[in-house]
Amino acid sequence: MSEEETQRYGGGAGAGGDGIGGLSLDLLGQVLDRVREPRDRKSCRLVSRAFARAEAAHRRSLRVLRREPLPRLLRAFPSLERLDLSACASLDDASLSSSLSGIRRVCLARATGVGWRGLEALVAACPRLEAVDLSHCVGAGDREAAAVAAAAGLRELSLEKCLAVTDMGLAKVVVGCTRLERLSIKWCREISDIGIDLLSKKCLELRSLDISYLKVGNESLRSISSLEKLEELSMVCCSCIDDDGLELLGKGSSSLQRIDVSRCDHVTSQGLASLIDGHNFLQKLNAADSLHEMGQSFLSNLAKLKDTLTVLRLDGLEVSSSVLLAIGEGCNNLVEISLSKCNGVTDEGISSLVTRCSQLRVIDLTCCNLLTNNALDSIADNCKMVERLRLESCSSISEKGLEQIATCCPNLKEIDLTDCGVNDAALQHLAKSSELLILKLGLCSSISDKGLAFISSSCGKLIELDLYRCNSITDDGLAALANGCKKIKILNLCYCNKITDTGLGHLGSLEELTNLELRCLVRITGIGISSVAIGCKNLIEIDLKRCYSVDDAGLWALARYALNLRQLTISYCQVTGLGLCHLMSSLRCLQDVKMVHLSWVSIEGFEMALRAACGRLKKLKMLSGLKSVLSPELLQMLQACGCRIRWVNKPLVYKD
């Protein structure tokens, strides 16, 4: 930018007057609120100091990737209300002693290094705290729950997979935080009916509750039924709950609008019928992988939800055409239906359903392998507003059916054609779907560069593409993709074994790429990885398993340029201890590493690399043979820092 342009846009030292610098910070802040992309916001800050000041004064939310700059960032943005530390490597209690006075919502998901002392400091520093997310803090227990309980104004709390929380910890929370409106205790398997009963008596404002995977029984549903404001209840895989419990729930408060009983083995359609009988305002019902049959009483009661039910999930059920006809007649306001892995779904049944449910926007027909192009024709003719269509393993569909979908459904944003055997002609038709964001083509071996060129020419909004085992794709296809689909963030190229370093060079122009899977690309080397690392600065996950020619050169490039990398798989690569150690010591955001069968890395190499990243790692995957040769002190340090190690029971082999 020239000096004249800098002054015009308010970027100069004395910015003000007639340029952007003359506008108020409040007005500039409102402008920034309308800039959705982080890259664009950054550009505004770089162009104009006035925008930078407005950002500092106006910014309300922040996601931090590293612990070290946290105090400086909190000082730079004094108006912060929402703080996400879930990706912040090596976060510990001391990190939460910074000034957090204005924070209302904080996410500490997977922050395994944070304990009760840090949470006490957080609650003391944030008098207006309303929401805390401690999900997947697997070491968190009753003492951590007690620390959070001091936040009397708390309205939302997630303790999902806090495995050590018991009834005692829950009691502390519900007594101290009586204003709770949303609570997740999913996977807290030490919580019993006693804890749920106290929760139901103390937290009368509760609107959303998740008790999935708990060992609670029908008595818990009796207690929950008394919550007069409860709108959403999830109890996935609660194996001790049966029809009697659902009947108790049905006789309680009628406020429920969304319920999930998926994978509840002892629930039948009769129990769901009694539940519906007492809740005539249900909007969402998930009974996936629960029901063994569809009783007439359930279908009859389902019709009572005609005006309200919008989401219905019946995955894994035996579904006949007559059942789909009854659903269509009884629930014609549906916007989402999931019939994944349902036996008996035919073209006739889908036609009966969609002719009566024309407002459907999400249709999941995964593994409904009796369907043909006739089903797609019915969907195209009747559901013109469909946005997401999942057809994985529907092997009898072809380009003719997809032509109808692409022509008649202009709002299509996601389509899953994994293992459907579609060809380039199908992609030529799908190229009409200019709003497409997600396209999954895994195991479609007939797709070539030609088909990829069709997609690249018209689907510029694409953000996710799955080409798993599309082994006819070459470097030329990636060149077309990189030229036409600049917004791609997630790309799966596993087992596309014709791709070379030249193809990865094309991918280097995808500046927004965050997740890249390159498993078993045997022709790529460190040169190609360098191209990706240099060009794709936002990369957070890369899978290089069985990329046998990738060596230290690739790791050095990742260490230097992929500074945001958090997940890395390098199993079976030809890297040495020197490259591994340099990588692990350089990447401050790296948290999850899979490194099985690194035969060129010595025991000393593993030891040094793990010590270099000890405080940051959360997950490791290594050969079990290393357990006996790595120093006990190192393994204790990793465990103390909250790192979970998955040991693979295979022989330890390394080269001299």
What pLDDT is attached to residue 172?
A: 98
**In this structure, what token pair is assigned to residue 558?**
């990742």
Residue listed under structure tokens 């690392």: 533
> What's the average model confidence in pLDDT over 539-543?
97
Gap between the Cα atoms of 341 and 318, Å rounded: 9
Phi-psi region of 496 (alpha: psi -120 to 50; beta: other; left: phi over 0): beta
- Residue range(s) defining the domain that contains residue 50: 25-57
CB contact at 8 A, 418 and 392: yes
Is 45 inside a domain boundary? yes
Average pLDDT, the chain: 92
Is 43 inside a domain boundary? yes
Q: How many domains does the chain have?
A: 1
What pLDDT is attached to residue 496?
A: 97
Gap between the Cα atoms of 435 and 505, Å rounded: 27
Is 431 inside a domain boundary? no
CB contact at 8 A, 263 and 289: yes
CB contact at 8 A, 486 and 462: no
> What's the average model confidence in pLDDT over 68-82?
88
Q: Residue 16 pLDDT more than 70?
A: no
Q: Residue 65 pLDDT more than 90?
A: no
- Band of residue 19 on the pLDDT scale cut at 50, 70, 90: low
Task: Please state, for a pLDDT cut of 70, what percent of the chain lies above it.
Answer: 96
Residue 21: how many CB atoms within 10 A of its CB?
20
Q: What angle do CA 314, 490, 594 make, to 5 degrees?
A: 95
What pLDDT is attached to residue 582?
A: 97
Gap between the Cα atoms of 601 and 630, Å rounded: 13
pLDDT digits (tens, 9 = 90+) for 356-379: 999 999 999 999 999 999 999 999
Q: Residue 411 pLDDT more than 70?
A: yes
CB contact at 8 A, 589 and 564: yes
Q: How far is CA 587 from the centre of its chain?
A: 23
What pLDDT is attached to residue 546?
A: 97
> What's the average model confidence in pLDDT over 160-186?
97
Residue listed under structure tokens 């030229």: 483
pLDDT digits (tens, 9 = 90+) for 310-355: 999 999 999 999 999 999 999 999 999 999 999 999 999 999 999 9
What pLDDT is attached to residue 656?
A: 55
pLDDT digits (tens, 9 = 90+) for 123-142: 999 999 999 999 999 889 99
Q: Residue 21 pLDDT more than 80?
A: no
- Show Cβ contacts of residue 289 under 8 Å, excluding neighbours closer than 6 positions: 262, 263, 315, 316
> If we measure between CA atoms, which residue out of 102, 125, 122, 100 comes closest to residue 111?
122
Is 444 inside a domain boundary? no
Gap between the Cα atoms of 364 and 396, Å rounded: 16
Give the H/E segment covering residue 559: helix 552-561
Gap between the Cα atoms of 569 and 554, Å rounded: 13
CB contact at 8 A, 506 and 477: no
Gap between the Cα atoms of 524 and 191, Å rounded: 50
Gap between the Cα atoms of 265 and 101, Å rounded: 47
What pLDDT is attached to residue 3?
A: 43
> What's the average model confidence in pLDDT over 390-402?
97
- Band of residue 259 on the pLDDT scale cut at 50, 70, 90: very high
Q: State the distance between the two ends of the chain, measured CA to CA, in whole angstroms.
A: 55
Is 53 inside a domain boundary? yes
- Show Cβ contacts of residue 6 under 8 Å, excluding neighbours closer than 6 positions: 12, 47
Residue 44: how many CB atoms within 10 A of its CB?
19
Single pTM value for the model: 0.91
- Band of residue 39 on the pLDDT scale cut at 50, 70, 90: confident
SS3 512: coil
Is 29 inside a domain boundary? yes
Q: DSSP class of residue 540?
A: -
If 0-12 CB within 10 Å is exposed, 13-18 middle and 19+ buried, where does residue 633 land?
exposed
Q: Residue 420 pLDDT more than 70?
A: yes
Is 613 inside a domain boundary? no
Task: Please state, for a pLDDT cut of 90, what percent of the chain lies above it.
Answer: 80
Gap between the Cα atoms of 527 and 533, Å rounded: 10
- Read off the amino acid at residue 446: S
What pLDDT is attached to residue 655?
A: 67
What pLDDT is attached to residue 95?
A: 85
- Show Cβ contacts of residue 299 under 8 Å, excluding neighbours closer than 6 positions: 323, 326, 327, 330
pLDDT digits (tens, 9 = 90+) for 450-466: 999 999 999 999 999 99
- Band of residue 213 on the pLDDT scale cut at 50, 70, 90: very high
Lowest average pLDDT, out of 27-31, 264-268, 526-530, 593-597, goes to 27-31
Q: Residue 392 pLDDT more than 60?
A: yes
pLDDT digits (tens, 9 = 90+) for 601-650: 999 999 999 999 988 898 999 999 999 999 999 999 998 888 899 999 98
**In this structure, what token pair is assigned to residue 428?**
């030529």
Q: Residue 12 pLDDT more than 50?
A: no
Q: How far is CA 1 from the centre of its chain?
A: 38
